[in-house]
């Protein structure tokens, strides 16, 4: 048996991470046009970095919940009999920490920084600013 699963922000609410479009979601408190577009990053990278630094801190204190664990358990149980193809809209790593493998992140990953200069993606767990050089090409202001 092969199973396809698509998850979204609602799955991580029980872990303490906010959704985006719910009544109390992130976009009710923050303007996505000022934080989640290439133009926003180009015009105010400090504000964009501050938003993602806040979210990265929240993620690092979160833990996978029962839903993340159930999907990981299902994937492991299918080994040898089929597969579970897991795609998530979430940028958190809670599926991986629960034990899921080969997770496809449609919208990127909060714990990786991508360089706009060389396109390298680097694991990133700290605050990020325009003064951090890219570990791959050494340019600053591109992560």
Q: Which two tokens stand for residue 96?
A: 């991986």
Examine the residue annotation and report whether 49 is marked as an active-site residue of this protein: no
Catalytic one among 68, 95, 107, 139?
107
* Distance between CA atoms of residues 31 and 16, nearest Å: 21
Q: Is 136 in the site for Zn ion (CB under 5 A)?
A: yes
Q: For residues 27 and 41, which CB has a smaller minimum distance to Zn ion in the complex?
A: 41
Q: For residues 67 and 134, which CB has a smaller minimum distance to Zn ion in the complex?
A: 134
* Distance between CA atoms of residues 26 and 39, nearest Å: 19
Instruction: Decide: 110 and 57 in contact? Cβ < 8 Å.
Output: no
Q: For residues 97 and 114, which CB has a smaller minimum distance to Zn ion in the complex?
A: 114
| Least gap, CB of 26 to Zn ion (angstroms) | 28
Rounded to the nearest 5°, which phi and psi values hold at 31? -90, 115
Instruction: Decide: 122 and 106 in contact? Cβ < 8 Å.
Output: no
Q: Which among 21-29, 48-56, 75-83, 110-118 is the span making contact with Zn ion, rule CB under 5 A?
A: 110-118
Q: Is 118 in the site for Zn ion (CB under 5 A)?
A: yes
* Closest CA relative to residue 64, chosen from 38, 98, 103: 98
- Active-site residues, by number, are 107
Site for Zn ion, rule CB under 5 A: 115, 117-118, 134, 136-137
């Amino acid at each position: 048996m092969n199973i396809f699963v698509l998850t979204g922000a609602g799955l991580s609410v029980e872990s303490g991470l906010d959704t985006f479009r719910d009544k109390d979601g992130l976009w009710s408190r923050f303007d996505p046009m000022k934080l989640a577009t290439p133009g926003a990053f180009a015009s105010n990278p400090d504000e964009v970095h501050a938003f993602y630094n806040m979210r990265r801190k929240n993620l690092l204190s979160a833990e996978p919940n029962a839903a993340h664990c159930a999907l990981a358990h299902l994937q492991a149980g299918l080994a040898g009999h089929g597969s579970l193809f897991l795609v998530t809209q979430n940028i958190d790593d809670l599926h991986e920490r629960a034990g899921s493998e080969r997770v496809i992140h449609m919208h990127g990953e909060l714990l990786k920084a991508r360089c706009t200069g060389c396109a390298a993606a680097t694991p990133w767990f700290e605050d990020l600013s325009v003064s951090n050089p890219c570990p791959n090409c050494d340019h600053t202001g591109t992560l």
